[in-house]
Amino acid sequence: MTTVFVESAFRHGYDEDDFYEVLESRPWKLRSRRGISDVYELYGRNYVGDYLHVAYRREGERYVVFHIRRMSAREKRSYAKHL
């Protein structure tokens, strides 16, 4: 599978490396909380310890990452419960 990043993914100052670091952190993966098909959310940490939320969608044989940001306090609590 190929991973593609759209410009909006970097709006909050994170980059491709942060995405791959979240993947290595054994993230918590959920289907979209908004019920959008083929959209997934990842909750995990990068190497510097930031708690990150990543949103991406699957388009055929590729993943399109369109959002990377810090988790809210509420998201951190939920993430901590699922560790």
**By percentage, how much of the chain surpasses pLDDT 90?**
86
**10-44: pLDDT as tens digits:** 999 999 999 999 999 999 999 987 777 789 999 99
Cα distance between residue 47 and residue 20, in whole Å:
10
For the chain, the structural domain boundaries read 2-81
Q: For position 8, what pLDDT does the model report? A: 96
Instruction: Assign domain 2-81 to a CATH class.
Output: alpha beta
> How far is CA 18 from its chain centroid?
9
Give this prediction's pTM: 0.91
Q: For position 7, what pLDDT does the model report? A: 96
Cα distance between residue 59 and residue 11, in whole Å:
22
